[in-house]
């Protein structure tokens, strides 16, 4: 398999704009004990590094799966009934609870800015909930406006700015 390129700087604003315009990701997890897949739709916010943040109950099935096995996949896409309107991103990476106070506050600020109703209706619940982060290592950008089946695949550097050893997707 050919090595995939690192995400180029000129793609970052395109992806950031796309992610900021979408509300929901479909998060795919699997449990180590039973191997059963799980997909959960979740509101999310993203940062400039393309990390994805969401709020979940630690007892939900997808959260328990993440506790067992932090390899996850996600899809974020526009709703469309037109073939040329298919546009989205598929992501593989590592998901973990956010444990640092600074990152938690930053994630909550991003989430509240994207979903202002949360503060009014769910502020106390959110403040006492677990914030999770998906740190991407691979992504596929799909944009049928550019042609049927148009896609680009990239790896992303890990948190230290180095290319990840696990840069290849688990499956295609």
In the CATH hierarchy, which top-level class contains the domain 9-155? mainly beta
Partner residues linked to 29 by β-bridges: 38
Q: What is the pLDDT of residue 162?
A: 36
Alpha helices (runs of H) in 54-153, residue ranges in sequence order:
61-68, 101-114, 117-127
pLDDT digits (tens, 9 = 90+) for 16-26: 999 999 999 99
pLDDT digits (tens, 9 = 90+) for 99-136: 999 999 999 999 999 998 887 777 777 777 899 999 99
Q: What is the pLDDT of residue 34?
A: 82
Secondary structure letter of residue 145 according to DSSP: G
The pTM of this model reads 0.88
Residues 6+ apart with CB under 8 A from 111: 43, 45, 53, 54, 55, 118, 126, 131
Judged against a pLDDT cut of 60, whether residue 35 lies above it is answered with yes
pLDDT digits (tens, 9 = 90+) for 60-72: 999 999 999 999 9
Judged against a pLDDT cut of 60, whether residue 57 lies above it is answered with yes
Q: Is residue 40 a contact partner of residue 60, using CB atoms and an 8 Å limit?
A: yes
Higher pLDDT, 83 or 125: 83
Q: What is the largest CA-CA distance in the chain?
A: 50
> In the structure, what pLDDT confidence band is assigned to residue 33 with cuts at 50, 70 and 90?
confident
Q: What is the pLDDT of residue 165?
A: 41
Q: What is the pLDDT of residue 2?
A: 67
Give the domain ranges of the chain: 9-155
Q: Is residue 47 a contact partner of residue 110, using CB atoms and an 8 Å limit?
A: yes
Total H helices, total E strands in the chain: 4, 8
């Amino acid at each position: 398999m050919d090595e995939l390129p690192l995400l180029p700087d000129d793609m970052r604003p395109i992806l950031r704009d796309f992610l900021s315009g979408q509300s929901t990701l479909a998060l795919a997890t699997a449990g180590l004990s039973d191997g059963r897949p799980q997909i959960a739709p979740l509101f999310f916010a993203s940062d400039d590094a393309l990390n994805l943040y969401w709020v979940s109950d630690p007892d939900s099935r997808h959260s328990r799966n993440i506790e067992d096995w932090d390899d996850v996949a996600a899809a974020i896409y526009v709703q469309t009934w037109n073939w040329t309107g298919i546009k989205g991103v598929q992501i593989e990476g590592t998901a973990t609870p956010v444990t640092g106070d600074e990152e938690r506050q930053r994630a909550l600020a991003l989430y509240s800015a994207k979903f202002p109703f949360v503060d009014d209706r769910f502020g106390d619940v959110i403040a006492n909930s677990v914030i999770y982060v998906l740190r991407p290592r691979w992504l596929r950008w799909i944009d049928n406006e550019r042609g049927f089946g148009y896609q680009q695949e990239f790896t992303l550097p890990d948190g230290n700015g180095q290319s990840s050893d696990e840069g290849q997707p688990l499956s295609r």
